[in-house]
A and B are shown apart, each in its own frame.
Chain A
C-alpha cells in the first residue's frame, strides 16, 4: 500500500522545470528600474507557469514598483494562494493591502490562528485530502479483500478516514474563507453601483487594490462583495482582476 502511494506521488510530482532563459532578463529590467518592462516579462513567464508562486511574486513586485497597486495585489494574492508559508509573499501581500486600507489578517482574528489556518495552501490541502482518501479507501478495500487481516487493517483504515475528514473540513473551510471567486480592484477609485450599468447610481467608491468577492456577472458588469466592509454592488468588469 505504501509503495503504491509512493508510486502515485512520484508519478504525480512534476519535474521542476529549469528557469526559463529570459527570467534573468526580466530580473535585469527590474534591477534597472524599468518596472513596466519587467512586469511585462514576468507576466509572460507567469502565463507559461501559472502554478509558480515565485513568478507570481516577482510579477507582483514589478507591478507594485510600476505603480499598479491593484494588479500587484492580485499577483501577490496568487503567490500567497500557491505558497502561503513564504514569508516574503506574506510580507509583500500585507504591504500592498495596507496601501489599499486593508489588513491581511482579518480584524478580530488572532494572527496566530490565521497563520495556522493558512499554513497550507488550498492545493496542498486538496492533495492531503485526496491522499488520505486514497489511503482510507484502499485500506478498507484490503480489509474487505483479506478477511483474515481485517482486524489488523481496520484501525488503520479508520485512522486514515479520520485524517481524511480533518483535511476535508480544513479544505472546505479555507475555500469558504478564501474562495476561488475572489478578485482585486485594479482601477483607481472604481465606482460601485446599485446595478449593472451606468444608469444606476454610485453606491461606493472603492480604492484600487481592495479585495472583493465576485458574486455574479451581467454583461460587462460584475456583482461583487467587499470582503472588509461586507457591502455589495456592481462594478465594471474591467475594473476587477479575478484571481483564478
Chain B
C-alpha cells in the first residue's frame, strides 16, 4: 500500500541508484501568502530502470503534503531513460523569508536550495464547501479527538464527532479503465487543535491504477451534520483494471491533538505553551464500485482506453533518398489513462523498414481529469525509390461521453523517395554485410502480356474440337465401309449369283478390249465380241461357254424366272448369227465391220441384261 503523508516525510530508498541520476527542485512561485500554498516539484531523472525517491529534509516553517507523482519511461535500443516528478503542496506556517534546503536522493546530485517569501493577506470569508480559507489548513485547538476510534462517515444522531474522514466516488458504476474520482475529506471541528504531523494513509485500492489529482490537500470550511468543520481534501483518479465489484478500503488519517493541561490562571494562556499531544486515528467507510467490462461491439483492435483521443502523425521530412532515415512521430492526445495506450504495430510494408519506436508520455491533471499526451517516435528507412505511403495508424477506444466506440486515425503520410547510393537498400535491411545478391523487396503479380501469342497447333486443336456435328463424319465413313464390306462378303458367299451379276461387266470389258484393237486386228476384235456375247449368256445361265449354242442359249434364257422379250432374243439371235458369220467368213473382216459388230453385240447384251433376272 502506498502511503502519502500530509506532513514532512522521510522516505526510505528502494536501492542503489544508477550512475547518472539528478534531482531538480522547483517552486511554482517565489512568494506566497500565509493562507496560500505553493507547489513544489521534485524531478528525479536518470538512465536507470529504478530511480531513487527524494529525501526531504526537515522544513520547520512549512507543512508539506505529497500530491502524487508522475513517471515517464522510454526504452531506446535497450537503454532506459526515465524520470519521476514528485509533487508536493507546501503550506507556510509563518511570515518571513525562508529557505527550502537542498533535496537529495541516493546516488544523485542534490538540488539547489530555494528561497521563498511568505507575506500577509487579508482575511476571507469562508465558504462551504470552498477553496482554502485563511487559517483553515492550520491546526485548530481543542477539543481532543477520540483516540484510536474510527470516526463515523455520517454523524450520529444528535452528536457530530470532532473529526471524521469522508470518502466518496464520483460514480457508482464504471467500466474497466474508465476514470473514477475518489475524494477523501478529513473533517475536523473548528475548535480542534491539531499538532505535529498528521499522516494520511491512502485506502487499499486493489484492482485499480491510481493517479493523485493535484492540488492536495485542498482546504476549506464546510458544514456537516449541522456542525462547522474545516477540512482537508485529497482526490485520486482511479482506473479499474478488471471488471467486478471492487472495494476501496477505508482511508485513514493519523492525527495528534493538543490536550490542555490544568491552567491555574484560567486564562488559557498556558494552553498555548504547555498542552500535551494525544495521538488518534480516524477512518472512512469502505466503498464499493461496480466495474463493468467494455460494452458489446468492441472492435477487434480495441486497445482498452476509455476516454477521448486524437491522433496525429508527422515526419521530419518527406523527400528522402533510399536508405535515409526518417523520423516518424505519432502523437496521441486525449483524456483517460493515456499511459495504457500500447505501442502501435508497425505496418508491414516491403518498401519501408520500421525500427523499434521509443515512447514518452506527459500526463496533465487539471480540473480533476487525467489527460495526457503519449508520443511514439520511430525511425523509418525507405528501401526502394518511388512513392512510399505510410498508411494511417488507427486506435480504437471507448468514448464514455458519447457512449460508443470510436476510432482515432492519423492521416497517411507520403514519402517521395529518390534513388539512394548503391547498397542503400541492403543497408536499410539492417543485416550484416554480405555477398552481393538479389534483394527481395515485394511480391506482386506479373506484368501484362506484352506479346500475346498462342501456338497455332493449340488454336487448331481447340478449333477442331469445336467442329460439332462434323465429328459424325468418320463414324459415317466407317459405317459405309463396313456396310460395303458386308455386302462384298455376302456376294463372295454366292458364286452363281455373283457370276450372274457380273456377266455384263465382264462382257463390257471384252467389248472395250475389242474396240481398242487397231483395224489391222479386226478379226481378233470380232472374235472378242463374239466371245463376249457367248460368255455373257453363259454367265447368265451359269453354264460353260464352250459348248453353248444359240439354241441352248435361247432355251436357257427363256427358262429364267424373268425371261427376256422376243425382241431381245431376236437381237441376241442376230448378233449370235453375225458372230458365226464373221468367225467363218473367208477373207477376214474389215475394221468398220468389226466395230459395227461390236456395237450390235453390246446392244444385244444390254437389252438382255435389262430384262432378265434369275
Contact = CB atoms under 8 A, between A and B. Distances in A.
Contact of B462 (A61, A121, A145): A121
Contacts of B477: 137-138, 141
Categorize the interface residue count of chain A: 35 or more
Nearest to A54: B452
B29 to A, nearest CB: 61
B474 A133 contact: yes
A61 B485 contact: no
Interface string A86-108: 00100110011000000000000
Contacts of A123: 461-462, 465-466
Given A134-B474, A138-B474, A144 B482 contact: yes
Given A58-B448, A124-B462, A147-B488, A13 B474 contact: no
Nearest to A62: B448
Contacts of B466: 12, 123
B471 A130 contact: yes
Interface stretch (B187-195, B395-403, B439-447): B439-447
A141 B478 contact: yes
A234 interface: no
A234 to B, nearest CB: 28
Contacts of A206: none
A133 B471 CA distance: 9
A145 B475 contact: no
Contact of B454 (A54, A138, A140, A141): A54
Nearest to A88: B446
Most-contacted residue by chain B among A8, A14, A137 (CB, 10 A): A137
Interface string B482-501: 10110010000000000000
A57 to B, nearest CB: 6
B481 interface: yes
Nearest to B452: A54
Contacts of A43: none
Contacts of A58: 448-449, 452
A83 B444 CA distance: 21
B464 A130 contact: yes
B463 interface: yes
Contact of B467 (A61, A130, A143): A130
Contacts of A54: 449, 452-454
Contacts of A131: 461, 464
Contacts of B459: 13-14, 16
Interface string A39-69: 0000000000001111101100100110000
A80 interface: no
Contacts of A16: 454, 456, 459
B458 A61 contact: no
A213 interface: no
A142 B481 contact: yes
Contacts of B590: none
Contacts of A88: 446, 449
A30 interface: yes
A226 interface: no
B362 to A, nearest CB: 40
B461 A124 contact: yes
Interface of A: 8-10, 12-14, 16, 19, 27, 30, 51-55, 57-58, 61, 64-65, 83, 88, 91-92, 95-96, 121, 123-124, 126-131, 133-134, 136-138, 140-145, 147
16 contacts: A8-B467, A12-B460, A12-B464, A14-B463, A27-B448, A51-B462, A52-B452, A58-B448, A95-B443, A95-B445, A124-B458, A124-B461, A127-B461, A138-B474, A145-B484, A147-B488
Given A57-B448, A92-B445, A92-B446, 15 more contacts: A14-B459, A16-B456, A19-B452, A30-B448, A54-B453, A61-B448, A91-B446, A126-B465, A127-B462, A128-B461, A137-B478, A140-B478, A143-B481, A144-B478, A145-B481
Interface of B: 443-449, 452-454, 456, 458-467, 471, 473-475, 477-478, 480-482, 484-485, 488
